[in-house]
């Protein structure tokens, strides 16, 4: 029996049918909350019963927003790269690991998904998680702490299915930064299902259809 563990953040839980066979843990972006991606669940039109978990990030000061307190998975010190908030990234990695353990099902039935900041955290977590996951969906994001991944990556998830998608007109996280992250992962042997769309820092209908197809393959 897989036991469910307690978690340190609040989360919204939606189940598409009785006795879910799989779970998707979906992390929102900076300044949003767990409600942000709730509307996507019916749009995915999944045939299996799936549990969706939408956690709320902790509230913390964010440097690029003049220290304003908001929901954030980690601090952002400057736009476009540069120094990273490693303690914040690793703390949210731990929260995500707690959420995996709280589902009461084998980890290979769990997909991690995230948008922007949330996408960075799911990449940070999934590629290092010691037990096999079902897949990871990283939207409009980049690979954080890239220089440590080679030493810290998990053998259990070395061939994990990775879905990455980005807007061609993203002015917050440039497409080039996402492509560099993809190339870094590919050099380490990860196989990336890559998509880009004519959109800004957002989500579009063709992307949702592609995410649905990815879920159908890995869940």
Residue 145 CB-density burial (10 A; 0-12 exposed, 13-18 middle, 19+ buried): middle
**Level-2 CATH architecture, domain 11-218:** 3-Layer(aba) Sandwich (3.40)
Helix axes 86-101, 117-126, angle to 10 degrees: 70
Q: Give catalytic residue positions.
A: 116, 170, 201
Digitized pLDDT (tens) for each residue of the chain, 219 residues in all? 344 555 678 999 999 999 999 999 999 999 999 999 999 999 999 999 999 999 999 999 999 999 999 999 999 998 877 899 999 999 999 999 999 999 999 999 999 999 999 999 999 999 999 999 999 999 999 999 999 999 999 999 999 999 999 999 999 999 999 999 999 999 999 999 999 999 999 999 999 999 999 999 999
The Cα diameter of the chain in Å comes to 47
Q: What is the pLDDT, as a whole number, of residue 214?
A: 98
Taking the CA atoms of the chain, what radius of gyration do you get in angstroms? 16
- Cβ atoms 218, 191 nearer than 8 A: no
pLDDT of residue 9: 86
């Amino acid at each position: 029996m897989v036991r469910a563990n307690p978690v340190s953040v609040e989360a919204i839980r939606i189940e598409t049918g009785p006795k879910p066979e799989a779970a998707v843990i979906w992390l929102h972006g900076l300044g949003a909350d767990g409600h942000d991606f709730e509307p996507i669940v019916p749009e995915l039109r999944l045939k299996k019963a799936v549990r969706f978990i939408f956690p709320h990030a902790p509230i913390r000061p964010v440097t690029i927003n003049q220290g304003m307190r908001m929901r954030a998975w980690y601090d952002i010190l400057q736009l476009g790269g540069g120094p990273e908030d490693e303690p914040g990234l690793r703390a949210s990695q731990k929260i995500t690991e707690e959420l995996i353990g709280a589902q009461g099902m084998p980890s290979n039935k769990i997909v991690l998904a995230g948008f922007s900041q949330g996408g960075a955290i799911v990449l940070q977590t999934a590629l290092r998680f010691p037990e096999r996951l079902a897949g990871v969906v990283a939207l409009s994001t980049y690979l954080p702490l890239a220089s440590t991944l080679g030493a810290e990556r998990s053998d259990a998830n070395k061939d994990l299915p990775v879905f990455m998608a980005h807007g061609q007109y993203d002015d917050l996280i440039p497409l080039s930064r996402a492509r560099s992250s993809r190339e870094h992962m590919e050099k380490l042997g990860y196989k990336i299902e890559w998509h880009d769309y004519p959109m800004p820092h957002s989500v579009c209908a063709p992307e949702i259809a592609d995410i649905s197809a990815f879920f159908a393959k890995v869940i």
